[in-house]
Amino acid sequence: MATYDPLKRALKKEGLRYTQQRQSVWDELCATNDHRDAEEIYLAIRQSGLNVSRATVYRTIDVLVKNKMVRKLELGDGRARYEHKINATHHDHLICIQCGKIEEFMDEVIESRQDEIVKKFGYKLVRHIHQLFIICSECESP
Amino acid sequence: MATYDPLKRALKKEGLRYTQQRQSVWDELCATNDHRDAEEIYLAIRQSGLNVSRATVYRTIDVLVKNKMVRKLELGDGRARYEHKINATHHDHLICIQCGKIEEFMDEVIESRQDEIVKKFGYKLVRHIHQLFIICSECESP
DNA sequence: TATATTCTGAGACTCAATCTCAATAAGAAT
DNA sequence: ATTCTTATTGAGATTGAGTCTCAGAATATA
Ligand SMILES: [Mn+2]
Ligand SMILES: [Mn+2]
Ligand SMILES: [Zn+2]
Ligand SMILES: [Zn+2]
């Protein structure tokens, strides 16, 4: 047990118990850098031989999102997608509306313009969503 | 019947019939500059004495969105919101996560940066979503 | 007016996500 | 290690926005 164990730290902070199921959800989310939905996480865990329910997957993801270990993406297709935030810096997404591929981008100019816009209104920026829906090169010229 | 009647024009283009229900949905959407959900549109029409079904509201909105007369907004609360595009120029939104108030903004610098980002990837931009979730001044200092 | 075709509405259905609650597991206490 | 308390789990029920079905109603055409 490492001294820096983000899952155990978060669970302790929330007054929650450490369980195999919660560990498996976190492990599976960290296993790739993809942007997967809850069902994909659920199936991947079961594929690996571990038992977990959909309800627990959803409940655990909520804890991880609340503790900023996981980011939730709503891409407008009715299913939320998730990505772990281990070693990740802030970025936004390009989504191919043809094949579903997701790429990441980050633009300092846009980030600071956002702050200025919000400041001009006299508001306080909490978070933002910036998604560029595109046709990727492979879908454009197959 | 005006020569410039966007609803009738769109229906003709789609090979669809003009009906009182479709007119009432379009009228209600144009009645305010708000960002309302389908249920609010539905209730407002019935409030005004006209009869329409939820199914028809949804079906008509789809036609209007397809013909760029109405814009669909997904703000992450599970219900899509709609705004008419009569005399409207492109803009994005600030949303107060406390009271739900929606304000509009438009920033040429951000708009052109988006194009540059997409061009750098070699992709083709189709549309974008840019939402700033904020705490508004009234919610910050009540 | 008669005919062909589209449209409507009530309610069934879908599907992601949430909730329920009895059985189970974790952790604290002894 | 065993007992005890309390949180967690999972199967399945429920929710809710949105979609679908299809018989009856409305519209366009002749
Ligand atoms: Mn990402
Ligand atoms: Mn708007
Ligand atoms: Zn693609
Ligand atoms: Zn507010």
SS3 content of chain A, % helix, strand, coil (to 5): 45, 25, 35
User: What local confidence, expressed as pLDDT, does residue B2 receive?
Assistant: 41
> Per-residue pLDDT tens for A86-97?
999 999 999 999
pTM of the prediction? 0.92
Which band of pLDDT confidence, cut at 50, 70 and 90, is reported for residue A1? very low
Average pLDDT of chain B to the nearest whole number:
94
Cβ-Cβ contacts under 8 Å, B76 against chain A: 74, 129
Residue B135 has pLDDT above 60, yes or no: yes
Cβ-Cβ contacts under 8 Å, B128 against chain A: 130-133
A140 with B123: Cβ contact below 8 A:
yes
> Per-residue pLDDT tens for A94-113?
999 999 999 999 999 999 99
A18 strand C contact, CB < 7 Å: yes
Residue A28 has pLDDT above 80, yes or no: yes
Nearest CB neighbour to B107, from listed A97, A113, A127: A113
Q: What is the CA angle B89-B102-B39, rounded to 5?
A: 95
B114 with A113: Cβ contact below 8 A:
no
CA distance to B18, B19, B24, B45, B107, per residue, from B27 (Å): 13, 12, 5, 9, 30
Which letter, b or e, does each residue of A21-53 get, where b requires 16 or more Cβ atoms within 10 Å of its Cβ? bbbbbbebbeeeeebbebebbbebbeeeeeebe
Domains annotated on chain A, with CATH? 4-84 (1.10.10.10), 92-140 (3.30.1490.190)
Gap from B120 CA to chain A (nearest CA, Å) = 11
Q: Could you list which residues have their CB under 5 Å from ion ligand 2? A: B 83, 104
Average pLDDT of chain A to the nearest whole number:
95
Question: Is the Cβ–Cβ distance between A95 and A75 less than 8 Å?
Answer: yes
Gap from A113 CA to chain B (nearest CA, Å) = 7
Q: Where are the beta strands (DSSP E) in A1-140?
A: 36-37, 70-74, 80-84, 92-96, 102-105, 124-135
Residues 7-46 of A near strand D (Cβ < 7 Å)?
Answer: 11, 16-17, 19, 21-22
Residue B3 has pLDDT above 60, yes or no: no
Contact of A141 with chain B, judged by CB distance below 8 Å, is answered with no
The DSSP bridge partners found for residue A92 are A105
Average pLDDT over residues A44-58: 96
> Per-residue pLDDT tens for B76-122?
999 999 999 999 999 999 999 999 999 999 999 999 999 999 999 99
A51 strand C contact, CB < 7 Å: no
